[in-house]
Structure formats: structure tokens, C-alpha cells
Amino acid sequence: MLAVLRNRTYRRLFTAQVVALVGTGLATVALSLLAYDIAGADASVVLGTALAIKMVAYVVVSPVAGALAHRVSRRGLLVAMDLVRALVALALPFVTQVWQIYALILLLQGASAIFTPTFQAGIPELLPEEGEYTAALSMSRLAYDLESLFSPALAALLLELVSYHWLFAGTTVGFVASATLVVSVVLPRPAPAERARDVRGRYAQAGLGFRLFRDTPGLRALLALDLAVAAASAVVFVNTVVLVREHFGRSAGAVSLALGAYGGGSMVAALLLPRLLRRFADRGVMSVAAGALPMLLAAVAGLTAVAPNARSWVLLLVVWAAIGAACSLVLTPAGRVIRRSAGAADLPAAFAAQFSLSHGCWLVTYPLAGWLAAGAGMPVTATVLGGIALAGAVGAAACRPRRGGAELLHVHRDLPADHPHLVDAVPSAGGWRHRHAYVIDRHHGHRPDALSERA
């Protein structure tokens, strides 16, 4: 897996991702403690609302990222978004009101909503070979996991020396370092086919990704899996601080420990994933992991329904680690699914749509986790979100394509006989029939299930 770091450009981009994520992890801990300072036992409501605002920014802004990636320098766009995020992080320590948290989170996450899909869409072009791209996906997931594990540990250490407000300074340093590394590389230029598509306009390009998800069964299944992950991760990210401080009566450092347990489980899964994917199909690994999430949330409901003790605290850490592992096994192969479901020219739109739609799931689960916890308690919260996770896992199974395999037989009825796409096609009733790796694009508006395949 580490061999992919021999690519100089990817190595620097990966390093930029890591340092930015470490800074983001410090901000996650600091923001939780800031919310607790301002709102006390209602911190779950503040965090749930703040994270819902984050998801609104992602859902609204990220579809445009796919279009912007074609119209401006990708490197310049990434650097600009890093600098915006650095300035926002610099302002967070001075927050004294809840509304100020909400305003700054909206600006910060709007920049992230442009940065992340632009970054993701460039990797398949930089590493076109399937094995290298799979390794890059695992490395990217590992970066997120190291952030979840290392950042809370670093935050716990720093909290012994300084107040949590100084953690936001670490976030600023991370984003500035990321911008510096991105400036030092040359990113691949958009393919000519991509530039030609720009005539459709930025909003048509943004809508293309949503049409891909609407018309591709595998992508619809991926969205259902995202819902299951959103339900489980919302319980962790929204409710950890209140669970640790209020239910278990533990210190601020224990918040970092609990978040670190989630990150540790996710990291172990990411390290094992390349080997798993050599033996099992993406869909099978993702489905099994998603199916485990409702059971883990049922365990959370049970643990929080009884009086806290040392044993239940340890069990909570174990469950947090298991949720992290399951979420990683669902999220990491998602890039492979998208890459096989869209043409190269449509990858930016597909990644932007996935970013937007998946965070639309979190837009529902984050505030729900906060408001339910404040109003009905953790057992009810975990039960309700466990039901949502179960619905996502079942929905993914229902969305599986009826026709297996990447190469599908289909008929073209609207292309002339001399069209380059029909070079290997044979005459069929009313059209031309052939078989190839099938994705929705300008020549394929429907799955073969909707096309006649008569000879």
C-alpha cells in the first residue's frame, strides 16, 4: 500500500491531506469543549445544529465544485479553500455566543465542500492504475483514521499544558501547511473531453452527478450505505462529549480517548481493507459492515440505559472502536464504486454529487442525534438511529443491480452506424448491439435493464 507514495505529486497531496486533517481533528475536540462551555448539558444540541449547518453547506455548495474544477485552476482552488479555512479557524477562539459558532462553521464547511470533492476527483487522474488507486483510497482512509486517533491524543496532551482555545491555532497551522504543499505540485489538467462538456454550463455539470446517482443502481446502493454510516457516526460525533462528561462523569481528556477509540477501529479496518478487497467484492465487504451498525447502536442503547461503571465505560470504548471499523469498511471502497460507475470525464461531477448526497444523510442524522439526546435520552437516540442504519443497510441490498458484472450487453438505437463508439458492435433489431464496461454517460442514458437486447 505504501508503494503509492513513490509518486511525488500524490505523496505531497497526501501529506497535505494529513496535516490539514490533524488540524481539523484538533478543532473537533476544541469545538466540542467550546460548545460544552457555552451550553453545558445542552452541548449536544449546539453540536448537532452546528454539524447540521456543516451538512447544509456540503449539500448546497459541493455540487458546484465539480463545475468549478473544470473552469479554474484546481491547484488554485484547493489553495484558496485552505486559506479560507485557516482564517476561520483563527477566529474560532474568540467566539462567545452560539450564533457565532454557527456562522463560522457555515463559512469553514463551505470551503471544505469545495476542497474535498476537487481533491478526490484529481486522484483517479493522477493514479489511473486500479491497484494504485485502491491503495490511494486506503491511504486516504488511513489519513482520516490517523486524524481520529492521533488528533484526540495530541489534543489530550496539549490540554494538559494549555486551554482548548489554543487547539484552534493548530487547526490554522494545518490548513496553511496544506496550502503550501498543494502549491508545490502540478496537478493533471482536465481531459479535452471534460473541457468540451463545459459548454453545458456549470449548473448542468453540477446536475450531471445527481443524474448518475439516480440512474445507476450501484450508486443508489452506495447512497443507502452512506445513510447507515451517517446514523452511526452521528451518535459518536454529536453525543460523545455529553456521554463522557455527563453520563460517565469523566474529564475532558476522556473525550479525546473516546474519539480516539473510534479512530483506532477505523484505522485498523483501513489497514486490513486492501487485503480484504483482493479476496472479496467491494459490495460484500460494504454490506456486511453496514449490517453490523444497527447491532452496535443497539449495544449503545443498552450501555447507556444502565448506571455507569468502569465496565460499561470500557465497553463503550470497544463499541466506539467497532463503529469506527464498520464505517471505514463502508466508506473506503466508495471511491472504487464511483470510479467504476462513471466515465473519466464525469468523475468530478460524480464525486461532487456523492459528497453532497452523503452529507445530506448527515444533515438528517446530526441534528436528530443532538435533539433526541437532549430531549429523550441516549437509549432512545441510539435506538432511533439504529433503525435508520438498518433501513440504510436493507435499502442498499434492495438497490443492487439485477445484472451483475461490469461488462453489460446493450443495444444502441440512436447512434449512426459509423459512430466511433460502435466499432465493435453487431447489427441488432433496430440498432447496434455490443458489450463493454457500462456507465451512464452521453451515449448511455439508461441501464441495460431498460434496453432491449434482442439480436
Between 43-52, 120-129, 172-181, 319-328, the lowest mean confidence (pLDDT) is in: 43-52
Write out pLDDT tens, residues 307-343.
889 899 999 999 999 999 999 899 888 878 887 776 6
Domain boundaries, the chain: 2-398, 407-450
Q: SS3 string of 368-404?
A: HHHHHHHHHCHHHHHHHHHHHHHHHHHHHHHCCCCCC
Q: Residue 253: its pLDDT value, please?
A: 73
Share of the chain above pLDDT 70, in %: 75
Q: Residue 383: its pLDDT value, please?
A: 96
Average pLDDT estimate for 180-191: 76
Amino acid, single-letter form, for residue 402: R
Q: Residue 295: its pLDDT value, please?
A: 96
Three-state secondary-structure class, residue 161 = coil
Q: Which is the CATH superfamily of the domain at 2-398?
A: MFS general substrate transporter like domains (1.20.1250.20)
Binned at pLDDT 50, 70 and 90, residue 390 comes out as very high
Strands (DSSP E) along 331-454, which ranges? 407-412, 426-428, 431-437
Q: Residue 194: its pLDDT value, please?
A: 42
Sign of the dihedral through C-alpha 382, 388, 389, 394: positive
